[in-house]
Each structure stands twice: as C-alpha cells, then as structure tokens.
Homo-oligomer: A and B are copies of this chain.
Amino acid sequence: MDKQTENKKVFLEIVHQLRTLIRIEKIQPGGKLPSERVLCERLGVGRSSVREALRSLELLGLIETKHGGGTFLAATHNHQLVEVLSMFILEDEKSKKDVHITRQIHEKEAISIVSRTVELRALPVWDSLFVKLELEGTIICKDVLREIIIASGNRLALKIWFQLEAYDGAFLSRESTEDGKIHIQTMLKSMQLGYEREALQAYKQWLETLEE
C-alpha cells in the first residue's frame, strides 16, 4: 500500500524491500538471497530495477554475487565502501601519504588496546608469532599487524585497515630486516607485559627500519 504512495525511485524502494525481506526471512550473513528473477516477480518490478538495487548494495559491500551461483548476504560488512569512496577522494600524492598515516593510526591504537587489556595480552598468538620470528626470521610485517588488529576486537577498524593495507601494500609486504626483527620482538614482548609505551616505541622504531 505505502509502496504506491511514494513517488521515489523504484530501485530505492527495492533496497528497502530487500532489507525487510532479509529481516523477515532471517537471512544470515553468508546466506542466499532469492534470485533476481524471483525478486522481480515477488516485488512486481522489472529485472533491471532489481539489478540496480542489487548492484548498489554490492558496491556498498552489503551483498556478494557469484556468477551462475546466486546472490548472498555479505559475511563481512563494508569493505568496498572505503575503496569506492577512496577512488573518488584519493587522487594526489598527499592522499597516498594520508593512507600511510591513517593505517598507522589504527595500528598504534590496536597495540595500545592489546597492551592495556589483560585478556588480550594473554592470547597464545603472541608467543606463536614470537617463535615463528625466532625460527624463520622471514616473517611478513603485515601478518603481525593483522593479528594485533584482529585481537583488538574492532571489526570496523579491521575493515578499514584491510583497505588501507591494500593501497599501502608494497610497503608492508617487505620482509623485515634483522634490525626490524628485534623491534618486532620487543614490541610483542612489551605488549604481552602490558608496557604500552614501550610497545609503541618499538613499533615506531620498527617503522623506521622500513623507511630506509
């Protein structure tokens, strides 16, 4: 009833309907949505309009599609959001530096969080990383940072970090130097002991070894 009253665009209305559908049918993240053709019929609209709505949600990272397979509710939220916004926003060199800095902001915060939280400090993953570092020595920077940010428990920050890391990838993908290794170990140990300041200091020193 109320659908007819609105003079708004069909595809926006469909976005609304989809949300209702997902709630009512209790579709879980990762769950399958009705096919495009079924949605057309159910909502009484053309397939193009359904697709415009679906594509919009896809760009937002709210749904995922598998060619020939179906449409699924995204398991993890907004990753494309940042990417697309960035595409329009990040244009000059200054922006590249901003990505770098912003990424580090989240890394520092995660280190602080872990250092300050007893339960997180006690996580076995730190020892594991430490040992791996000891044995192989070829550990990749981003693996360590990723674990720390995951541990910090802020999923949104994790999503943002993933995006930034993707841009900034070349930098982080390098293997650590001998000097760098020491700083990573110091950072991990400090974190485990709850020495926030020292952990951040070691992180900073580690960064310096990367900047050559």
- List the interface of chain A (C-beta within 8 A of B): 11-12, 15-16, 19, 22-23, 48, 51-53, 55-60, 62, 77-78, 80-82, 84-91, 94-95, 98-99, 101-102, 105-106, 108-109, 154-157, 159-160, 163
Of the candidates B23, B52, B98, the one whose C-beta lies within 8 Å of that of A52 is: B52
* Closest B residue, CB atoms, query A16: B87
* Closest B residue, CB atoms, query A73: B88
Interface centre among A55, A95, A99, A157 (most CB of B within 10 A): A55
**CB atoms of A77 and B89 under 8 A apart:** yes
Q: Give the shortest distance, in Å, between A152 (CB) and chain B (any CB).
A: 9
| Contacting residues, chain B, for A157 (C-beta < 8 A) | 98, 101-102, 105
Of the candidates B16, B60, B154, the one whose C-beta lies within 8 Å of that of A85 is: B60
**CB atoms of B51 and A98 under 8 A apart:** no
- Complex Cα–Cα for A177 and B24 (A): 41
- Complex Cα–Cα for A29 and B209 (A): 36
Given A48-B48, A59-B59, A77-B95, A159:B23 Cβ within 8 A = no
| Contacting residues, chain B, for A101 (C-beta < 8 A) | 154, 156-157
Q: Give the shortest distance, in Å, between A179 (CB) and chain B (any CB).
A: 25
Q: Give the shortest distance, in Å, between A119 (CB) and chain B (any CB).
A: 16
- Complex Cα–Cα for A23 and B89 (A): 11
